[in-house]
Amino acid sequence: MQTFLILFFAILAEVTGTTALKLSNGFTKLIPSLIVVIGYGASFYLLSLALKAMPIGVAYAIWSGVGLILTVIAGMVIWRETLDWARIVGIVLILLGIVFINVVSKSPAH
């Protein structure tokens, strides 16, 4: 359970960094740029802690899949970005690919 909590905070830090990346305006704004560096640094550090107890494929699938969903939601809420059918299908295919690889694959976890 503690591993999933660490992974959850890694995801939040990554989404924060990604959101700040857009706000940084190509790293021309100091505060959002600092948030990017801190967010990604914290995210990768926390992900590395989660990897001590989880297989990398499972951890990365959760990290990237949940991060994708939260980033899309952030774009919709903060910048009023819209989702057309092509974006929705693309996002669903990415998520299905992540799940498929991690559920169907018979490769050893370690």
Q: How far is CA 36 from CA 1, 41, 81, in A?
A: 28, 8, 21
Predicted pLDDT of residue 109 = 54
Amino acid identity of 24? S
More confident residue, 43 or 1: 43
Q: Would you list the domain boundaries of the chain?
A: 2-104
Please say whether the beta carbons of 67 and 8 come within 8 A: no
Instruction: Give the global pTM.
Output: 0.86
Q: Is the pLDDT of residue 110 over 60?
A: no
Per-residue pLDDT of 30-87, as tens digits, reads 999 999 999 999 999 999 999 999 989 889 989 999 999 999 999 999 999 999 999 9
Span 89-98, average pLDDT: 90
For 11-37, write each residue's pLDDT tens digit.
999 999 999 999 999 999 999 999 999
Query: What's the pLDDT at 42?
Result: 98
More confident residue, 50 or 104: 50
Q: Which of 5, 1, 11, 93 shows the shortest CA–CA distance to 60?
A: 11
CA distances from 26 to 23, 31, 33, 38, 86 (A): 8, 12, 8, 16, 27
